[in-house]
Chains A and B, each alone.
Chain A
Amino acid sequence: SQTIHQWPATLVQPVGSPLSLECTVEGTSNPNLYWYRQAAGRGLQLLFYSVGIGQISSEVPQNLSASRPQDRQFILSSKKLLLSDSGFYLCAWSMGGPTDTQYFGPGTRLTVL
């Protein structure tokens, strides 16, 4: 069966510091991968998605970036964090196709101070 991992689970970073969040999927090949952000008590906002290695689409222009160095690895990065980057970051995967369904990882809670 497929599993999705995210780390770290929680992170506290100062303003202006770099960021690297990692997401990996097991048990499948060539998945679609997604990064979402959720503000407290709010719905999810799609940040990036990828349909293959090196293919990244950005939904919201901001100081975050994403990379997919391996088939089942998706990384969210920032060179300099802002206070507004605080939130809960969720990674998801799907297999595409007509019945495409997204499955989510456990998330990373990021606090920028």
Chain B
Amino acid sequence: AQTVTQSQPEMSVQEAETVTLSCTYDTSESDYYLFWYKQPPSRQMILVIRQEAYKQQNATENRFSVNFQKAAKSFSLKISDSQLGDAAMYFCAYRSNTGKLIFGQGTTLQVKP
């Protein structure tokens, strides 16, 4: 069975600085998708970024980018120029060929002014 691990329960970053959130996963599948979701205090899950495993190029969405290392089964999220509105809980998720999403336990990001 696939598993997703986020080893950082909490992280903090100074406003305008860069922070990286870690995620590792375990799978025997070769084709899959990885996601980062953001959950602000409102608790609605918001899609941040998506990565297809067959693509070597790392996905980027404005200030958000990933470092996808398929061999290492690592999928970290980098937030550049951090803003106060980035404060939230971030979840890494794995989607298998069956379509089911498997989530990590989340990382709470604090942004300091």
Contacts and interface: CB of A to CB of B under 8 A. Distances in A.
Given A32-B99, A100-B95, A100-B99, A42 B44 contact: no
A44 B50 contact: no
A31 interface: no
Nearest to A100: B99
Contacts of A103: 47
Contacts of B100: 46, 49, 59
Contacts, number: 48
A104 interface: yes
Contacts of A43: 91, 103-106
Contacts of A52: none
Contacts of B35: 101
Contact of A107 (B37, B44, B52, B91): B44
Contacts of B105: 42-43
B84 interface: no
Contact of B106 (A42, A88, A96): A42
Interface of B, helix, strand, loop or mixed by DSSP = strand
A101 B50 CA distance: 8
A107 B43 contact: yes
A107 B43 CA distance: 7
Interface string A91-113: 01010100111111111010000
Contacts of A99: 33, 52
Determine which residue in A102, A103, A106 has the highest number of CB atoms from chain B within 10 A of its CB, and name it.
A102
B42 interface: yes
A21 interface: no
B43 to A, nearest CB: 5
B45 A104 contact: yes
A101 B61 CA distance: 16
A23 interface: no
Contacts of B95: 100, 102
Determine which residue in B42, B99, B100, B104 has the highest number of CB atoms from chain A within 10 A of its CB, and name it.
B99
B51 to A, nearest CB: 11
Given A44-B101, A106-B43, 11 more contacts: A42-B105, A44-B45, A44-B91, A46-B101, A59-B100, A96-B99, A101-B35, A101-B50, A102-B101, A107-B44, A109-B43
